[in-house]
Structure 1
């Protein structure tokens, strides 16, 4: 059996009992190591599970699935994913490849940022399309994610923004020369994401703005290390959030839409300034 097992969001102990039972009896255990990270390393997982864990990078998952699933028709093979196994398209593709090979598979679910984002107080059923904000490069600054935020806001829906992760990336020069040299991991912070959003706001024509467009005073919610003991939540204006230090990764961002009074009260608990608290109080009065 080929198992895809969610690890949750915090540390080694967040795995479910069902998942842990599979890990301890599986012939091989892989840890997917590029769509997200835990707050603890591979060694902590191995200590808790009492067995070896093999890191599976993007190349292994996308190009060597035969090796990954070898012997899975006769033995249990476990593939560990931070959060929930089906939070990334890559893992759905693994299921399709397993089916093509005639293998049985089983998904063991766990908490992910998609449901744990409820920690900030905005109700899950009020979220629209989830979007990804990518690192801007010198000659590549896409804005399509901004327009998706506006579509959600037009509908009164909140937007969960997943922030870019760069794991085992190569420079163009090293890639072209075939040199296996990789850049250090990078994680887009909430403050960087807000600066990119603010740059888009400042570039867009003010005459064409609607009630759904973002402004420097739009309320934003940043979360960091959700599910961990040092989880952090901050509520600030878009402009303020550009300078808020959320600490170590991983970060996510929420752009609220229409808010129920209870949602507003919850956000006030995490306000970083009187300025944003006053904006939230004015929202309650409308």
Structure 2
């Protein structure tokens, strides 16, 4: 049996009872380590589960599925995922590979940022398409996600922006030399994401584009470590968000719809950086 188990968003204790029982009995247990992270290290998980975990980085998951999947009918393997198992397309692909090999699969669900983002007060049924904001480089600065924000805003919908994570990413030099060397881990912050959105906005203004999806003074909501004891939420203008420090990862950003429901405003104002400015942005 191949089990794909969601771990939730916080720490070791967020695993479900069902998931915990399966982890304890499996022959091998892998911890996926590159699409998201918990607030505790792998050692804390191993201590809580009472067993060792095998780190599954991007290279192993995307290229070494045969190594992960059960070798025979009598072997049970667990694959642990931060959040919910279906929060990333990589996990869907792994499940399909297992089914192609006639391996029985069981999924144990858990909380995901896709639903937990409701903690900021913006109603879940008013969200449109979720986007990802990648780190820019000097030579690669994609902005296609701007159009998805624009589409959501035109329909009166909020946009959840998932922010880039770089874990065990090979350096360009190592790829050219075919010698594995990795960049230090990086986790995009809400201020970095806001700065990139502002840069896209400035480029479109310089190009003379009208009817912009948002402005420097549009409302933005920054969230950090959702589901943890030190969860932090801030609501302010996109321009002000470029200077907000929400502390350690993981962060995500929401660009709300232009018009909010009165209950959303009442809930969200508790997180406002400046309540008077917030009232102006939401009136």
User: Per the shorter chain, which TM-score range?
Assistant: over 0.9
Match of 1:263 in 2: 264
For 1:88 and 1:220, the matched residues in 2 are separated by 24
- Quote the residue 1:278 is aligned against: 279
**Aligned alpha-carbon RMSD (Å):** 1.2
Contact preservation (8 Å) 1:129, 1:148: yes
For 1:44, what is the secondary structure of its paired residue?
helix
Q: Which residue in the other structure is 1:58 paired with?
A: 58
| Distance in 1 separating the partners of 2:209 and 2:216 | 16
Q: Which residue of 1 aligns with 2:123?
A: 123
Specify whether residues 120 and 260 from structure 1 end up closer, same or farther in structure 2 by C-alpha distance, changes over 3 A only: same
> Is contact 2:83–2:111 with CA below 8 Å preserved after alignment?
yes
Secondary structure of 1:204's aligned partner? helix
Q: Is the 8 A contact 1:9 1:228 kept in 2?
A: yes
Return the offset for 1:279.
Answer: 2.0
Residues in 2 aligned to 1:19 and 1:195: alpha-carbon distance in whole angstroms: 39
TM-score computed with the length of structure 2 as normaliser: 0.97
Find out whether 1:103 has 2:90 as its counterpart.
Answer: no
Cα distance in structure 2, aligned partners of 1:94 and 1:40: 25
1:188-229 per-position Cα deviation (integer Å, ceiling 9, x unaligned): 11000001101111121375332x621111000000000011
* Separation of aligned partners in 1, 2:23 and 2:74: 16
SS at the partner of 1:3?
Answer: strand
Superposed, 1:8-27 pairs within 5 Å as: 8-27=8-27
The answer to whether the 8 A contact 2:2-2:70 is kept is no
Q: Does 1:68 align with 2:65?
A: no
Contact 1:2 1:72 in 2 (8 A): no
Measure the CA separation in 2 of the matches of 1:170 and 1:213. Answer: 35
- Unaligned ranges ≥5, structure 2: none
Q: Deviations over 1:207-253 (max 9, x none)?
A: 5332x621111000000000011000000100000000010000000
Q: Separation in 2 of the partners of 1:279 and 1:240? A: 14
Aligned residues: 281
* Greater alpha carbon shift after TM alignment, 200-209 vs 90-99: 200-209
Q: Which runs of 5+ in 1 are unaligned?
A: none
Give secondary structure in 1 for the equivalent of 2:217: coil
Alpha-carbon separation, structure 2, partners of 1:72 and 1:97: 15
TM-score, normalised by the number of residues in structure 1: 0.96
